[in-house]
Amino acid sequence: MRLKSNIWVAAYLRRCQTEGVFGAVRRRGAEEAGAVFVKVSLLDGNAMLYAPAPQTVYDDGRPIDRFFVPVSPQPLPEHTVEERLTKEIRFDSDAWIVETEDRAGRHFLELAKM
């Protein structure tokens, strides 16, 4: 069983805060199991978007982990990221959106090895 989304988001935002990175919940999703999308604003009009990794990358021995994949290998214009988030919300109304701001693009996420 994975950590509840609301607990994971709170811990993630605390991690960002300890690293000096501003972060906030833009949209609350389902408390228990909502998918979490993380937008990292680079403060130059571009952003990175990280989406939940496919279930196939999870290891049964580490069920509490959450892995992410970048939507694009390079930063995208903010409006493109916002369009993608709008589509995701239409598809999954239980999804969370967390946004951070960091010029260096630090995300503090565990990325899936695919």
Nearest to 51 by CA among 38, 34, 66, 33: 38
The first and second tokens of residue 99, run together, are 């946004």
Sequence-distant (6+) residues with CB within 8 A of 17 are 23
Q: Are strands 96-101 and 46-52 parallel, antiparallel or unpaired?
A: unpaired
Task: Determine the pLDDT at residue 52.
Answer: 92
Tens digit of pLDDT at every position of the chain (114 positions): 578 999 999 999 999 999 999 999 999 999 988 899 999 999 999 999 999 988 665 566 555 678 899 999 999 999 999 999 999 999 999 999 999 999 999 999 988 886
Task: Determine the pLDDT at residue 64.
Answer: 60
Task: Determine the pLDDT at residue 59.
Answer: 61
Task: Determine the pLDDT at residue 62.
Answer: 57
Question: Within 13 Å of residue 91, how many CA atoms lie on the same side as its CB?
Answer: 7
H or E stretch at 80: helix 78-91
